[in-house]
Structure 1
Amino acid sequence: MNTHSYPHIQTTNASDLRVAIVHYWLVGMRGGEKVLETLCRMFPQAVIFTHVYAPDQMSDLINSHEVRTTKISNLPMARSMYQKYLPLMPNALAKLDLTDFDLIISSESGPAKGVKTRADAVHLCYCHSPMRYIWDQYDVYRQQAGLITRTVMPALVGKLRSWDQQSASALDGIASNSNHVANRVKTYWDCPSHVVHPPVAVEDFSPVPASELGEFYLWAGELAPYKRPDLAVEAFNRLKKPLIVIGGPPKTERTLSRLANPEYVHFLGRVSFDKMKAYMAHCRALIFPGEEDFGIVPVEVMASGRPVIAYGKGGALDTVVDGKTGLLFQDQTVEGLIQAVTDFEAQGLDKLPAHSIVKHAQKFSEKVFVERFLAFARDHGLDIALTEE
């Protein structure tokens, strides 16, 4: 499991607050769980509520907190089949009584809001994404589901959408992790939100001297279809330029490797954090052809002093500055990516000064997240601030 170093967090006027954090499920350490870790550092007294909890897959920091689960955790094979129980989760949340808590933070990507609170308590939501299963990715998830799920989904999705909107309207405030997500919150929940970018451990990354840079490009992350690794593989087959691909799962890697020309495209699978950092710092640029809600990997690469070639949609619009920290392209096709790489080299963007790229990445540090989240909380009546050391 990757370990990250963060600056010490100490807040004022927060220790007496009774804090509950509701997180959709705890079955692995991904971007949402990294945000949860920061919230745990901000509120060390917080009790965590979740539908399903797999402590062997979680960090020591999260495991150090009291974690309480909903009734979903008692259902058969809940740790592996939790998404099958999505229609039952709103009712499971409604059974939670959080009236003993002064501050409730819902960490939302799956169902995490809709809990019972006191009238004078403050209920804030940090939205990683409105549930894709029932909104913009509904058709995709239904097509990929089994026969029984495909059959019952149309009857359930209306009720889930209604619950999602009603529980959102009861919140005291919503923070979205990007402008892209804020637009989706407005579209699906009809609610305004404040953009607070997620924390990235930028202190863990650093550039190398220009003389040590490699000639290879890098694709890194989970090999999920929406991240479009297939575009990168085919584009670099045709460009005849070196591309390193890091990530899993192995089954997807094997499928993609059959499409790749091994002379140019090399698959390394999942690698250690130290190796990942080294490839980030030495690459010519990161290739980021998918559309994501935020996207932590581009910020990590920029914290390493290297530019990013990104599809100009989603969270990349918040993180990559066209011509300053990389290049944004609009045509999400193999031809569009080939043209982007060609333009990137023609414009000399691989020679962008590392120090300016690193300086930009610092805007997404954990300290900045804490400051912005606490400012968001103060806007909703909480007298909490980051203590200067």
Structure 2
Amino acid sequence: MAKSTTVTSAAGTRDSLEGLRIAIVHPFLISQGGGEKVIDALARMFPDAEFFALLLDRSSLSGQMQGRTIHTTALSRFPRLKRFYQHLSPLYDLAVRQFDLRGFDVVISSGGPGAKTIRVDPGCLHIHYCHSPVRYLWDQYEVWLKRLPVAMRPLFALSARRQRARDFAAAQRVDTFIANSNYIGARIRRYYQRDSITIYPPVVVDRPLSPAERGDYYLTVGRLVPGKRTDLLVEACNRLGRRLLVAGQGPEYEALKAAAGPTVEVLGRVDDAVLDDLYLNARAFLFAADEDFGIATVEAQSYGLPAIAYGHGGSLEILENGTDSVLFAEQTVDAVAAAIRDFEAREAEFRADGIRRRAQRFSEEVFIKGIRDVVLKR
């Protein structure tokens, strides 16, 4: 039976956040992505909050996080570990025990493995902002298992079974789950047997409007990891001879760069000013992931930029086929290429001002109000 989300806490029923001691736990502060944008918004919302991270790379921190109090673990003493952090999952629960969360009134954990397994004081309100139940333990377990050499699969299966039990137990100790989309809310119910509240991630929606005459390139932005399926976008643009700019960093960077043909450029990480210009002048935004939500898609929308995207998961809560996007039904190169051709046949139908209005649903103001209401138990 799902545990009720009605809680009692040190916060009580209040009308102000003033005086609350707040901790924010996020497992990996080692790159910039959608999860880190949530952390940035929480940092603005709670200027006196303390932060806790299993792995920390201060060079990757946003301007918002520079100078903030961030506690980390022994794992951060080994800089090379950030390249292999996904293989260290059996150590996360042990590492998180180094955090001293005594005396906090509210703990907001965010992100994946290790975040919600923290222990808090009796009476402390523990809110977990869930981007997804840990994917390699739950919905993507079989995918991860098949990627491994046959000899390693029994060890992974044993480790995952133990981690899955701990992850489920930790989910029962959380007072309130917040899902980043209705899609993830359904996954929380399936795997953790818990109810949740949906509060969409915050996006800066006050952007300059994309001009009527856009550039000649397509754009994709995000972490360069296998699950984003950026490889499909690269191959489709190679095949069609279309110009594609890929902005982001991650373990797939070298492989994507090697796969890129003469019309595709893998830029790596770019600063905010460059990214603004890329969004502003792109022809359309390309997105092939089965995403839990998709902050980069909303960012593109906030510039009035149409999308060509995989029509599944959280993307369906952002995009409407034919109104602000062309959606494709399969994660294949053929499907991406066909969607690009479809978009080009009716490109003039997509109006930037109408697309941008749709992004207002995901503003930071809406996010902050939702979080505030949860903390104050309204």
Report SS of the residue matched to 1:188: helix
What is the CA distance between 1:289 and its match in structure 2? 2.0
Residue identity (%): 36
Instruction: Report the aligned-residue RMSD.
Output: 2.7
Is this contact kept in 2: 1:93–1:113, CA < 8 A? no
Report SS of the residue matched to 2:129: strand
Cα distance per residue 1:6-38 (max 9 Å; x no partner): xxxxx9621200111111122222221221121
What is the CA distance between 1:145 and its match in structure 2? 5.5
1:166-245 equivalences in 2 (<5 Å): 166-203=169-206, 205-210=207-212, 212-245=213-246
Is this contact kept in 1: 2:257–2:266, CA < 8 A? no
Q: Which amino acid aligns with 2:56?
A: Y
Is this contact kept in 1: 2:211–2:280, CA < 8 A? no
What is the CA distance between 1:269 and its match in structure 2? 1.8
Is this contact kept in 1: 2:33–2:222, CA < 8 A? no
What is the CA distance between 1:107 and its match in structure 2? 0.9
Q: Equivalent residue for 1:165? A: 168
Q: 1:65 to 1:158 in 2, by over 3 A?
A: same
Q: How far apart, CA to CA, are the structure 2 residues paired with 1:309 and 1:108?
A: 27
What is the CA distance between 1:98 and its match in structure 2? 2.4
Q: Equivalent residue for 2:11? A: none
Q: Equivalent residue for 1:126? A: 129
TM-score by length of 1: 0.83
Q: 1:155 to 1:76 in 2, by over 3 A?
A: farther
Is this contact kept in 1: 2:57–2:76, CA < 8 A? no
| 2:153 pairs with 1:154 | no
Q: Equivalent residue for 1:6? A: none
Runs of 5+ in structure 1 lacking a partner? 1-10, 384-389
Q: Equivalent residue for 1:364? A: 362
Report SS of the residue matched to 2:120: coil
Is this contact kept in 2: 1:303–1:357, CA < 8 A? yes
Which of 46, 51, 58 aligns to 2:49? It is 46
Q: How far apart, CA to CA, are the structure 1 residues paired with 2:329 and 2:319?
A: 13
Q: How far apart, CA to CA, are the structure 2 residues paired with 1:61 and 1:330?
A: 38
What is the CA distance between 1:253 and its match in structure 2? 3.1
1:71-86 equivalences in 2 (<5 Å): 71-73=74-76, 78-86=81-89
Is this contact kept in 1: 2:22–2:106, CA < 8 A? yes
Q: 1:149 to 1:48 in 2, by over 3 A?
A: farther
Q: Which amino acid aligns with 1:274?
A: A
Cα distance per residue 1:64-118 (max 9 Å; x no partner): 2222224544679655544333213224434544231111111131211122223
Report SS of the residue matched to 1:202: coil
What is the CA distance between 1:241 and its match in structure 2? 4.1
Q: Which amino acid aligns with 1:162?
A: A
333-342 vs 36-45, which moves further: 333-342
What is the CA distance between 1:157 and its match in structure 2? 1.2
Q: How far apart, CA to CA, are the structure 2 residues paired with 1:268 and 1:76?
A: 24
Q: Which amino acid aligns with 1:312?
A: G
TM-score by length of 2: 0.85
Q: Which amino acid aligns with 2:256?
A: E
Cα distance per residue 1:278-322 (max 9 Å; x no partner): 232222211212212222221111111111111111221111122
Q: 1:56 to 1:218 in 2, by over 3 A?
A: closer
Is this contact kept in 2: 1:72–1:85, CA < 8 A? no
What is the CA distance between 1:236 and its match in structure 2? 3.4
1:49-68 equivalences in 2 (<5 Å): 49-68=52-71
What is the CA distance between 1:200 and its match in structure 2? 1.5
Cα distance per residue 1:221-244 (max 9 Å; x no partner): 334333223322333344444444
Which of 364, 371, 374 aligns to 1:373? It is 371
Q: Which amino acid aligns with 1:267?
A: E
What is the CA distance between 1:140 and its match in structure 2? 3.8
